[in-house]
Amino acid sequence: MSRTTGLRLALLFAAGVVISGVGLRHGIQPNDEGLMLQAAARIGDGQVPYADFWWFYPPGQPYLLAGLQEVFGPSLLVWRVLRVLCDAGVGVLAYLLALRAASPRLALGAWGVAILAMATPTGPHPFPFTLLCCLGALLLVAERPAWAGILCGMAAAWRLEFGAGLGLGVVVGLLLARGGDPAPPRWREALRFTIAAVAAVLLFYVPVVAAAGLKPSWELLVRYPLVDFGDYQRLPFPLRYDGPLNVSSPGGFASDTLESLLLFYVPLVLVLGLLASLAALALRWRRVDATELATAVFGLVMLQYLLARADEFHTAPLAVTVAVLGAWAIARRAELPRAAGVAVGAGCAAALVFVLVVGLDRRVRAVTASTTAIASPVADGVRAGAANSPGLNDTLRFLRARTRTGEPIYVLPRRADLVTAGNPLLYILAQRSNPTRYDIEAPGVVTSAPVQREIAADLRRAGVQYVVRDTSAVTAADEPTRAGESTGVTLLDDVIARDYAPVRRFGPFFVYERRASQARAR
């Protein structure tokens, strides 16, 4: 690598840190952020996922965050720094990958789409680190297949389907791609990649599975995501916008309405951009090399990830992949028949420009939104957005005044029979423990009778004195999925009404205290 190239990459990384890091302390995610930090806290206390607490994600991210908590203590800030570094790294790798076949200017456009897609919305999700591994593997697969395999195995420890899709793509690319030097099939490289990937997967999974047990690990790592999750969480693909159209502003649309309209169509634009990119590869099939074909297959897996739940939290991986594939398609449009080249080039360019504009708009809105300081040392300066701040600080002060650090409390959503989100972040901010196995307000799990009985028994066993119910609309949203349907099971609600009395309300938070008669009965 030349000094000029190294300097360019360093500047892109620094710019990515600035873009992703501006507003680092703005906003919280009560559900997603709480889930990851609670899992990390449990692991730090010696608990094992799948056995000691309910968890259906791979082990990589919670163990990484648990390690950071051991070093830096519980914090809402530390994971954000890690996320910013991952975002910046993904942007640089997307640039390098695009540069394989595109001009520096087009590669810079791919970098812009990638970093803006990664920067908003933020969260402690495992996919940024996973994408870092996947893009690194795609860059190395042609020359260093064993190292690419190691990165693929690491990716599978953070997002199982990402690693599996990448592995499939690389093997398909090495064996079936028509271009490249030496000419495929490249059996030895495919074997080296596969052996390294399997070894890395075993290294990350065997200790956790051995500690948790094979059956619970299989149930939560494989069966639940494949069989149950999509059934409860898959949203209809957004095709026809039926949200508000406020035309009272001078420009015809209110600013927030325009944002909603643009965000609504991001998944559709990404799908069209992917199809245009894949069409470009298909039309020049005899010259497609292993890296291109592997990236195309990986793009299809990222499409599946989006289709599993087509919302704003699932668009970034496909956007990054489309940025790379789109840059290649635009750069190589001259190799296609004239009409096809014009259509593919225009389609990919339009998709990338649309996603770039939406990303810029979201970044500006994210860093200029109104926020409120959080009354918790764990916040480390992180501030809550307007949607999450009402009543939060008063609830935290009440819990600190009435309970001790580490004392068990229980946080539940508006309804026990219909759950679309929870607020496990409250445990982290209050520095209080959850006596049950369930931080995840998973529909079909906590809404079932056996789990509600188990939770009620845990509350009695632990002598929980205070229960907090978050009645925010998001916890029981009217969404078009099975999660938005009532199971009819209200056992836990009945137990709370019988054993606890409401004592205070702070915005959407209702605090309940165990009734004196129930305390004496213990």
Pair of tokens at residue 261 = 């309209």
Q: Is pLDDT above 80 for 385? A: yes
Same domain, 316 and 405: no
* 146 & 21 share domain: yes
Residues 364, 395, single domain; the answer is no
- Which among 99-108, 259-268, 471-480 has the top mean pLDDT? 99-108
Of 335, 368, 401, the residue that ends a domain is 368
Percent of the chain at pLDDT above 90? 78
Q: What is the DSSP letter of 100?
A: T
Tokens of 398: 């009440």
Please count the other Cβ atoms lying within 10 Å of the Cβ belonging to residue 471: 16
* 359 and 464, same domain (yes or no): no
Q: Compute, in degrees rounded to 10, the torsion defined by CA atoms 102, 108, 110, 116.
A: 180
If DSSP states are collapsed to H, E and C, what string results for 308-328?
A: HCCCHHHCHHHHHHHHHHHHH
Cα 53 from chain centre: 20
360 in the same domain as 408: no
Given a cut of 60, whether residue 252 has pLDDT beyond it is no
Q: Where are the beta strands (DSSP E) in 163-311?
A: none
Nearest to 179 by CA among 32, 328, 39: 328
On whether residue 380 sits in a domain, the answer given is: no
Residue 244 banded pLDDT, cuts 50, 70, 90: low
- Compute the distance between CA of residue 113 and CA of residue 178 in angstroms, rounded to an integer: 29
Among the candidates 368, 401, 419, a domain finishes at 368
Supply the pTM of this predicted model: 0.93
Q: What is the pLDDT of residues 435-464, one digit of tens each?
A: 999 997 676 789 999 999 999 999 999 999
CB burial class (10 A; 0-12, 13-18, 19+) of residue 303? buried
Same domain, 364 and 394: no
Same domain (yes/no): 339, 447: no
Q: What is the pLDDT of residue 427?
A: 97
d(CA 398, CA 389): 15
Q: Are residues 141 and 209 in the same domain?
A: yes
Query: Would 409 be classed as within a structural domain?
Result: yes
Q: Are 312 and 403 found together in one domain?
A: no
Residue bearing the bigger pLDDT, 254 or 153: 153
| 175 & 315 share domain | yes
Residue 488 lies in a domain: yes
Residues 129 and 257 in one domain: yes
Q: How far is CA 61 from CA 90, 252, 446, in A?
A: 17, 44, 23
Residues 103-120: pLDDT tens digits? Answer: 999 999 999 999 999 998
DSSP per position, 428-488: HHHT-B--SS--S--TTTTTSHHHHHHHHHHHHHHT--EEEEE--GGGG---SSGGGS---
**Domain tally for the chain?**
2
The beta-carbon contacts of 304-308 under 8 Å, at least 24 apart in sequence, are 304/161, 304/165, 305/161, 305/162, 306/267, 306/270, 306/271, 307/234, 307/237, 308/229, 308/230, 308/233, 308/234
Is the Cβ–Cβ distance between 369 and 380 less than 8 Å?
Answer: no
CB 472 within 8 A of CB 449: no
Whether the CB-CB separation of 323 and 348 falls below 8 Å is answered with no
In a domain, 384, yes or no: no
Same domain, 364 and 476: no
**Domain of 302?**
3-368
Of the three residues 338, 368, 398, the one that is the final residue of a domain is 368
The pLDDT tens digits of the residues spanning 302-350 come to: 999 999 888 888 999 999 999 999 999 999 999 999 999 999 999 999 9
Tens-digit pLDDT profile for residues 358-378: 999 889 888 888 999 999 999
Residue 332 covered by a domain: yes
Residue 381 located in a structural domain: no
